[in-house]
Amino acid sequence: MPAEPRPANLHERHSRADLPHDSAVRAVLFDMDGTLIDSEKVWDRSLVEVLRWLGGTDLSPEARRETLGGSLRSSLAIVFREAGVVQTPELAEQAARRLVERTAEMFAGGLPWRPGALTALRTVRAAGLATALVTNTGRYLTDKALVGIGVEHFDVTVCGDEVPRGKPAPDPYLRAAELLGLVTHHCVAVEDSPTGIAAAEASGAAVLAVPCEVPIPPGHGRVVRPTLEGLTAADLAAAHREVRERRAA
Residues 207 and 131 in one domain: yes
> Is the separation of the CB atoms in 98 and 50 below 8 Å?
yes
Return the pLDDT at 20: 53
Q: Is residue 5 part of a domain?
A: no
Return the pLDDT at 10: 44
Residue 60: give the domain boundaries: 40-108
Q: Which of 84, 108, 132 is the last residue of a domain?
A: 108
Q: Is the pLDDT of residue 5 over 80?
A: no
Number of neighbours of residue 85 by Cβ within 10 angstroms: 15
Q: Is residue 3 part of a domain?
A: no
What's the angle, vertex CA 114, arms to CA 187 and CA 66, rounded to 5? 75
Question: Residue 119 sits in a domain of what CATH number?
Answer: 3.40.50.1000
Return the pLDDT at 71: 84
Distance of CA 80 to the CA centre of its chain: 24
Map residue 27 onto helix, strand or coil: strand
pLDDT tens digits for range 13-31: 444 445 554 569 999 999 9
* 102, amino acid identity: R
Residues 130 and 222 in one domain: yes
| Count: domains in the chain | 2
Q: Is residue 45 part of a domain?
A: yes
pLDDT tens digits for range 57-90: 999 989 988 888 888 888 999 999 999 999 999 9
Instruction: Give which of 213, 189, 191 is closest to 38, Cα–Cα.
Output: 213
Mean model confidence pLDDT for the chain: 89
